[in-house]
Amino acid sequence: MTDHLVSLAQIQEARPFVAARVHRTPVLSSATAAGYVERATGVQVADGRVYLKAEHLQKSGSFKPRGASWKIESLTPEERSRGIITFSAGNAAQGFAWAGHAAGVPVTVVMPASAVPSKVAACRDYGAEVVLAGGHVGEALQELERIRDSRGLTYCHPFDDPRVIAGFGSIGLEILDDLPEVDVVVTGIGGGGLISGVSAALKESRPLVRVYGVEPEHSNAVSLAVERGEVVQIQPVSIADGLGAPFAGQWTLAMVRHYVDGIVLIDDPLIMAGMRFAAERLKQVLEPAGAAALAALLAGRIPLRAGDRVAVVASGGNVEISRLGEFFAGATALPGA
């Protein structure tokens, strides 16, 4: 699968274009989070702080516009005029909707009928046509194929595409700019596009960096694919809809196998604990998918060494506000609390 690897050169090529169109998100830090990590693991991290790459403050509320913008830039004039179509539980849909609007390209997004209402509304506000189909993302794919073929739209994959992955890789380069001596970076995993781009950018620039991914235990398409050595289909079940990909892709499977040091599975109550910690102690609102990496770190699930400088990618903040109380109430107690 070495032919399915995105290079550092491709990520560096994407970076200026992406940087001109999206926010340069800050790296936040927390001594409180570092204290939780130490109590959970017995390990003291560098600087006495955990660092948080704040992609939940990105345009459209997640990291997705980075890859979507770079993908749309590659379209021919004819493809632009016809429009594009993609599928998503929410964040990729919003990312492509925003990027398409910014580029003047019509966008159709196919989302499961169970999609978070606020994410559906945001896509429509960006001018995208939203089609709700099926009970989950996997079922929505059949409707996507029908619409694509009937209208002649260009299919833009939300994660398994080299340009999308390269756009996401700009996050890794920004982390290195702000934390040149970073030792460990943790991200959530859905279809694997984010961790593919970030890990390639980090490992090819600073080979000793360790990169870990976090999946919901019942939404683990990537870890299953890594274990079996091939793409597998699943029916994802988790409150973290942003990590609910029904499969890994050929590109993301190859990238994860090549660059990622390990994948950790966590349950929904722990994900909710990460959300609650972010709101109570960091004053940041994260959606479940955006809090999963932080939750795993706080719970001591990420392998650390004394003195590691640790960064977490907070990948999204598109939470259904009306459910925050439910999420917080369902949170498990963190070991370091």
Q: How far is CA 188 from CA 93, 178, 216, 317, in A?
A: 18, 20, 9, 13
**Confidence (pLDDT) at 93:** 93
Is 64 a residue of the active site? yes
Task: Provide the pLDDT for residue 3.
Answer: 76
Collect all residues with Cβ–Cβ distance below 8 Å to 179 and sequence separation of at least 6: 27, 51, 309, 311
CATH architecture of 2-62+162-329: 3-Layer(aba) Sandwich (3.40)
For 329, residues 6+ apart whose C-beta sits below 8 A from its C-beta are none
Q: Report the predicted TM-score, pTM, of the whole model to 2 decimal places.
A: 0.96
Catalytic residue among 53, 59, 64, 71: 64
Average pLDDT by stretches of 10, the chain with 337 residues: 85 98 98 98 98 98 98 97 92 96 96 88 96 78 91 96 98 98 98 98 98 97 96 92 91 97 98 98 97 98 98 96 93 88
Q: How far apart are CA 113 and CA 306, in angstroms?
A: 46
Which of 69, 199, 223, 315 is an active site residue?
A: 315
Question: What is the model's pLDDT at position 136?
Answer: 66
Helix H or strand E segment including 164: helix 162-178
CATH number of 64-155: 3.40.50.1100
Give the largest CA-CA distance in the chain. Answer: 58
Residues 6+ apart with CB under 8 A from 250: 1, 4, 160, 231
Residue with tokens 């109590």: 39
Round to whole Å and give the CA distance between 289 and 53: 14
pLDDT of residue 270: 98
Q: Determine which helix (DSSP H) or strand (DSSP E) holds 274, and give its type and residue range.
A: helix 268-277
Q: Are 315 and 192 in contact (CB under 8 A)?
A: no
Query: Could you give the strand order of the β-sheet that contains 310-314, starting from the edge strand earlier in sequence?
Result: 27-30, 50-54, 310-314, 184-188, 210-216, 262-266
Q: Where are the beta strands (DSSP E) in the chain?
A: 27-30, 50-54, 84-87, 107-111, 129-132, 154-155, 184-188, 210-216, 262-266, 310-314
Instruction: Return the pLDDT at 114.
Output: 84
pLDDT for the residue numbered 25: 98
Res 135: pLDDT = 75
* Catalytic residue flag (residue 30): no
Q: pLDDT at position 138, please?
A: 64
C-alpha–C-alpha distance, residues 40 and 33, integer Å: 11
The DSSP bridge partners found for residue 84 are: 107, 154
For position 115, what pLDDT does the model report? Answer: 85
HEC string of 120-151? HHHHHHCCCEEEECCCCHHHHHHHHHHHHHHH
- 216: phi then psi, degrees, rounded to nearest 5: -65, 145
Q: How many helices (H) and strands (E) does the chain have?
A: 14, 10
pLDDT computed for residue 2 by the predictor: 58
* Spatial CA neighbour of 7 closest among 197, 229, 160: 197
Tell me the helix, strand and coil percentages in the chain, rounded to 5. 50, 15, 35
Of residues 254, 214, 257, 220, the one with CA closest to residue 237? 220
Domain with CATH 3.40.50.1100 in the chain: 2-62+162-329, 64-155
